[in-house]
């Protein structure tokens, strides 16, 4: 059974940093593309960042480019999102997702596996 579990969310002041982690279990995810999405209250879930197998290629939403960094550790089956210079508009539930070959890495529907989410709240 495939399972993704996020951790590391919390409350932080604007300008601060948080590091989210996603632990994968059930199979080896080295050949999977993994991604972070987020969903703010009353809004649709949106793409944040993605990383391909082996960590060779990364992709970021324009809203987080230069502030967030996605990484993965294949040996540990984990993925991380380092979030710096956080803004109140980054407040959302953050989800990790995985799929073997998503045709569009920015599309919610392209991923088969999802975690339960972790809340990130940025105060002004």
Q: Alpha-carbon distance 85 to 93, whole Å?
A: 18
Which residues make beta-bridge pairs with 24? 4
Count other Cβ atoms within 10 Å, centred on residue 31. Answer: 12
Q: Which two tokens stand for residue 93?
A: 């539930």
Contacts of 115 (CB under 8 A, 6+ apart): 4, 5, 6, 22, 95, 96, 97
pLDDT string in tens for the chain (124-residue length):
779 999 999 999 999 999 999 999 887 777 889 999 999 999 999 999 999 877 779 999 999 999 999 999 888 889 999 999 999 999 999 999 999 888 899 999 999 999 999 999 999 9
């Amino acid at each position: 059974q495939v399972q993704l579990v996020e951790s590391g969310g919390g409350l932080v002041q604007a300008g601060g940093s948080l590091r989210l982690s996603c632990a994968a279990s059930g199979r080896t995810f080295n050949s999977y593309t993994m991604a972070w999405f987020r969903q703010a209250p009353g809004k649709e879930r949106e793409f944040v960042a993605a990383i391909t197998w082996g960590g060779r290629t990364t992709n970021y939403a324009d809203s987080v480019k230069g502030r967030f960094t996605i990484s993965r550790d294949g040996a540990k089956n984990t993925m991380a999102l380092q979030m710096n210079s956080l803004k109140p508009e980054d407040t959302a539930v953050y989800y990790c997702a995985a799929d073997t070959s998503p045709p569009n890495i920015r599309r919610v529907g392209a991923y088969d596996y999802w975690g339960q989410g972790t809340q990130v709240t940025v105060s002004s």
